[in-house]
Amino acid sequence: MGVNLAARWAALQPVLGARLIPLAWANLVANIGIVVTGGAVRLTGSGLGCPTWPKCTEDSYLPHEALGINGAIEFGNRMLTYVLVIIAVSCWLAARNRATEHPLAVRLSTIIALGIPAQAVLGGITVLTDLNPWIVGLHLLVSMAIVGVCVILLDHLRGPARSGITSTVGRLAWFLFAVGWLVLYLGTVVTGSGPHSGDLESRRTGLDPQVMSHVHAWAVYVLVALTVGLLWAAHRTSSPVLFRATAGLLGVELLQGTIGFWQYFTDLPEVLVAFHMLGAGLTSAALTWVVLTTRPRRTT
């Protein structure tokens, strides 16, 4: 039996290795998707549908009828973590199979794979602290960081060859990246001060949601201005790869801005908030892509 399992495992290795790029894409899609499903938990008031962690209740890992639909929603989101683990571990094994060709892919896929259980623990802390808004915000930002690492992995595996960008343009791209992350952080602060807490009994930050919304909006204005400036710089320096990446980021920003204003003036309907969270994941991916395109790259 042991010999047969070893033989099957050996035969599986090259199969996984051949699917490294699809698995890297799956990592990216799954990690953006878990942001949206996590948002669904909060938007349906199911954040404490399972009132403890790692069990759903004090005496069971599974939700029971008394917890109702909220328990099912929260438990379902927890189960999706295992899907992420399967994808991340499969990607890691595929990268290990091609370690000679892509040594960086092993390190990047390891970071992603370790990030999933770390996020599960952080999610458990949010439950044990009754959805403390600052920890919930950190939980989202860690997901944004993992999304960025997924983009780096994809770029390493199949990004087009490109030359380096001038130092001035490169510094502008990094400054844009920093402002973009400030926008993402302020978005979590706005959420933590707003009405969608994840549970009726959960406390808020105590900050004025209207004031924080305006602060967040002004940071977005700066981000859009920087993006337009970088787009112009990419055109002037004849950098088509950077131009495409920056144009993609600008498109995501404009879509996010439209959704943000729409939800602000319509009292935060849940559907729009969910799309805004999807946009946050896309923003993190696009910001990372922009910075990567300023760096030289050989074809792999």
List all residues 6 or more positions away from 85 whose beta carbon is below 8 Å from its beta carbon: 113, 116, 117
pLDDT digits (tens, 9 = 90+) for 115-145: 998 988 888 888 888 888 888 889 999 999 9
What is the spatial distance between Cα 56 and Cα 58, in angstroms, rounded to a whole number? 7
Q: Is the pLDDT of residue 264 over 60?
A: yes
Cis bond before residue 54 (omega within 30° of 0): yes
Q: Examine the pLDDT at 1 and tell me if it is beyond 60.
A: no
Q: How confident is the model at residue 12 (pLDDT cuts 50, 70, 90)?
A: low
Beta carbons within 8 Å of 194's beta carbon, 6+ residues apart = 204, 209, 268
Among the ranges given (3-17, 181-195, 217-231), the one the predictor scored with the smallest mean pLDDT: 3-17
Per the prediction, the chain carries an average pLDDT of 84
Q: Which residues contact 272 (CB under 8 A, 6 or more apart)?
A: 259, 262, 263, 266
| CA end-to-end distance (rounded Å), the chain | 39
pLDDT of residue 136: 87
Higher pLDDT, 49 or 140: 140
Tell me if 157 sits within 8 A of 200, measured CB to CB. Answer: no
Question: 70 Cβ partners below 8 Å, 6+ apart?
Answer: 44, 45, 46, 48, 49
pLDDT digits (tens, 9 = 90+) for 273-295: 888 889 999 999 999 999 999 88
Answer yes or no: is pLDDT of 27 > 90. yes
**Predicted local distance difference test score (pLDDT) of residue 141:** 94
pLDDT the model gives residue 222: 97
CB-based burial label for 64 (10 Å; 0-12, 13-18, 19+): exposed
C-alpha 138/C-alpha 121 separation (Å) is 12
